[in-house]
């Protein structure tokens, strides 16, 4: 009888500890889902912003006549990364397509150096605050670049779908999860969670793949 009571007393703290761990892991899954959701939305927003300007659908289209291009490597970059990633900044004079605006101190980031006098097709994403401020923003335009940014937009859908799944079910795709994947998948069948979880990553993967292929070959 004494043994039975001793076992019962010992089981109480164990059950309490298990409950605390379970609740903590459940919160961890939902926090992770919120992180994935916010990261996916931010990635899609970034791809949309850059893509519409690169496609010429927003901003002021014009030509930047190159004066000089400079390459600036980060101080802590390795030799291989310096070779593969070259942050080039070209400065020159921007003239809008309609000829109504001009910026003698325009600058745009590109992937390679261009000789003096080269005419780059650019989009003015941020107009200058004053006529002589030189603080305008420019993006090199072209549909091949735009399609790559649209691929980034669709890539954000994959993270967003994963975030919705984890946020609703509490499933943590990293470490020890409170519930198994099978249980989380079964729980997602209630309401519109499962259709969203299936459609968003699916559309995201297909859209990203098609966009990057179009941007690469065209």
164-178, pLDDT tens digit by residue? 888 888 787 765 656
- Higher-confidence residue of 179 and 123: namely 123
Average pLDDT over every residue of 115-136: 86
Query: What is the average pLDDT across 96-105?
Result: 90
Span 110-128, mean pLDDT? 92
For position 28, what pLDDT does the model report? 65
Tokens of 78: 């390795």
pLDDT at 5 over 70: no
Lowest mean pLDDT among 5-9, 32-36, 97-101, 204-208: 5-9
- Give the count of beta carbons closer than 10 Å to the beta carbon of residue 124: 24
Q: Which two tokens stand for residue 77?
A: 């970059």
Cβ–Cβ < 8 Å for 111, 139: no
pLDDT confidence of residue 156: 96
More confident site: 66 or 17: 66
The tokens for 205 are 């993967």
- Looking at residue 165, its pLDDT comes to 86
- pTM of the entire predicted model: 0.70
What six digits make up the tokens of 128? 């200058």
């Amino acid at each position: 009888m004494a043994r039975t009571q001793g076992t019962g007393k010992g089981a109480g703290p164990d059950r309490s500890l298990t409950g605390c761990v379970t609740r903590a892991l459940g919160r961890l899954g939902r926090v992770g889902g919120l992180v994935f959701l916010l990261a996916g939305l931010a990635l899609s927003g970034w791809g949309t912003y850059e893509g519409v300007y690169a496609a010429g659908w927003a901003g002021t289209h014009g030509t930047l006549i190159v004066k000089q291009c400079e390459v600036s490597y980060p101080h802590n970059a390795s030799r291989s990364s310096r070779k593969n990633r070259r942050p080039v900044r070209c400065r020159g004079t921007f003239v809008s397509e309609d000829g109504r605006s001009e910026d003698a101190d325009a600058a745009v980031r590109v992937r390679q150096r261009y000789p003096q006098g080269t005419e780059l097709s650019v989009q003015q994403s941020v107009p200058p605050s004053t006529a002589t401020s030189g603080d305008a923003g420019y993006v090199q335009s072209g549909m091949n670049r735009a399609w790559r940014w649209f691929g980034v937009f669709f890539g954000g859908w994959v993270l967003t779908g994963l975030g919705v799944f984890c946020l609703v079910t509490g499933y943590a795709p990293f470490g020890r999860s409170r519930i198994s994947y099978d249980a989380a998948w079964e729980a997602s069948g209630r309401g519109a969670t499962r259709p969203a979880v299936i459609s968003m990553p699916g559309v995201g993967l297909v859209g990203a793949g098609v966009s990057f292929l179009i941007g690469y070959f065209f």
